[in-house]
Amino acid sequence: MKILLLGSGGREHALAWKICQSPLVEQLWVAPGNAGTARLAASDCRSDAPHFAPCTNVDMRADDFDAVKALVLREHIDMLVVGPEDPLVKGVADVFRSDEQLAHVLVVGPSKAGAMLEGSKEFAKQFMSKHHIPTAAYRAFTPDTLDEGLAFLASLQPPYVLKADGLCAGKGVLILPTLEEAQRELRAMLDGMFGSASSTVVVEEFLSGRECSVFVLTDGRDYRLLPVARDYKRAGDGDTGLNTGGMGSVSPVSFADAEFMRKVEERIVRPTVEGLAAEGIDYHGFIFLGLIRVDRDYTNAKAGDPMVIEYNVRMGDPETETVMLRLKSDIVPLLEATARGSLGTTTVEEDSRSAVCVMLVSGGYPEAYGKGFRMSGLDAVSDAVLFHAGTALKGDDVVTNGGRVLAVSAYGDSQEQARARAYEEVAKIDFQDARYRHDIAATS
Ligand code: AMP
Ligand code: GLY
């Protein structure tokens, strides 16, 4: 099978690493990819797999649908796998389904209507409320209803949660400690702080508890759960500093025990898949549930129960960098069944080991940072899988090309062992202003 993967981050490198281990794959293309996907079979990306399909980067934007179509036709590609949310929200799956020349191509990724679960926070909240899926109580406001929004905030207890309705590259959620700040930020958001993405703002109840990420593959009727993970969003040790795309991850998650996962499946996964079907929304792809195990009672959940913080319509980054390590089954039959509508016939096997990923980032991230720094030590990594996030090739050198640069993912028989290995390998790598958190997976 010939596969095209859209995207360029650590998530896509991890997906490419897993896809290329499948004996079913003849060749993988990644558009645009990064230095890691360009050198997938290199020693630092080693794998014990007997088979490693060739992988080629294609220099094109993931949302340039004409270029994607031309590549798919030229290379006779059988399956498209969409990594990031942006092309999905822009309707790449619909383009493939409605184009006669592309209709035979298998697509892993929801329709534009399905991608609204991530593309619009208000849509997601309405969906959950309609299908009785436990989530924080909320109201949505526009510039016309600003005064009601200010009054609503005054009726809530701190801290205050404000969410821009549209996609903001992970920056659209503000959690504010005082009413004064919350009211000021609501005004600013409705005044265009995130452009049109914040022309509607969701204000919701703050949920207290521990977060985890649950990944589901669905073909719109059946579903399968992938290994559960947790990411570390704040830039600094001890969950301090600014929110980032994620500074590391761990899988499995100790507090996501069997009883918790049973509730997740019964109260969240099943009603979500059934809700999509009931609304006639075409959905063949990943659903990423950002969940919280609440530590006190709420209107529609008790202490210890799961509630939904958010939906995403793709895999998480850096969660994929541990989830792929722990997915024992060949991913390609799962992706194929997702696209074809035959997930009911598949099984997902998990590796019993733990996996920990530590992200090396550029100094300054998530604010301004430098780029183009040469890296050393990549070849010395021996006991971890190295996934590239923001890297590029400059001649034969691998240089930094983003805020999140490298994801170092290690296995262990326990979380402690995986963590110790990941940090041992991280210490071998260096580039100017390299930074990382020291407490990834430090507690259970
Ligand atoms: P998001 O961009 O939707 O992933 O939100 C970013 C982060 O904000 C989440 O991972 C949570 O840590 C936090 N968050 C979002 N909504 C809530 C909420 N209702 N209560 C508490 N924390 C929240
Ligand atoms: N790690 C969170 C995300 O991918 O959105």
Q: pLDDT 10s digit of each residue in the chain, 444 long?
A: 999 999 999 999 999 999 999 999 999 999 999 999 988 865 445 556 667 899 999 999 999 999 999 999 999 999 999 999 999 999 999 999 999 999 999 999 999 999 999 999 999 999 999 999 999 999 999 999 999 999 999 999 999 999 999 998 778 899 999 999 999 999 999 998 888 888 999 999 999 999 999 999 999 999 999 999 999 999 999 999 988 999 999 999 999 999 999 999 999 999 999 999 999 999 999 999 999 999 999 988 999 999 999 999 999 999 999 999 999 999 999 999 999 999 999 999 999 999 999 999 999 999 999 999 999 999 999 999 999 999 988 988 899 999 999 999 999 999 999 999 999 999 999 999 999 999 999 986
The pLDDT score that the predictor gives to residue 44 is 46
Q: How far is the CA of 172 from the centre of ligand 1 (A)?
A: 10
Q: How far is the CA of 309 from the centre of ligand 2 (A)?
A: 12
Ligand 2 binding pocket (C-beta < 6 A) is 231, 246, 312, 316-317, 319
For the CA of 208, the nearest ligand: 1
Residues in Cβ contact with 412 at an 8 Å cutoff, skipping those fewer than 6 apart: 353, 354, 355, 356, 418, 419, 420, 421
DSSP one-letter string for 26-50: SEEEEEE--HHHHTTTSGGG----S
The pLDDT score that the predictor gives to residue 42 is 59
Cβ(171) – ligand 1 distance below 6 Å: no
Q: Which atom of ligand 1 is nearest to 309's Cα? A: 16
Query: Would you say 3 and 333 are in contact if contact means Cβ atoms under 8 Å apart?
Result: no
For the CA of 288, the nearest ligand: 2
The pLDDT score that the predictor gives to residue 41 is 63
Query: Would you say 389 and 405 are in contact if contact means Cβ atoms under 8 Å apart?
Result: yes
Residue nearest to atom 3 of ligand 2 (CA): 316
Query: How far apart, in whole angstroms, are the C-alpha atoms of residue 178 and residue 191?
Result: 20
- Ligand 1 pocket test, pick from 85, 189, 310 with the greatest ligand atom count within 8 Å of Cβ, gives 310
Q: How far is the CA of 306 from the centre of ligand 1 (A)?
A: 14
Q: How far is the CA of 173 from the centre of ligand 1 (A)?
A: 7
Residue 53: which of 6, 30, 21, 15 has the closest Cα? 21
Query: Would you say 355 and 255 are in contact if contact means Cβ atoms under 8 Å apart?
Result: no
Element (H, E) at 324: helix 320-326
Residue nearest to atom 8 of ligand 1 (CA): 173
Residue nearest to atom 2 of ligand 2 (CA): 316
Token pair in block for residue 190: 């409705």
Query: How far apart, in whole angstroms, are the C-alpha atoms of residue 152 and residue 395?
Result: 57
Query: How far apart, in whole angstroms, are the C-alpha atoms of residue 169 and residue 426?
Result: 27
pTM above 0.85? yes
Residues in Cβ contact with 439 at an 8 Å cutoff, skipping those fewer than 6 apart: 232, 237, 238
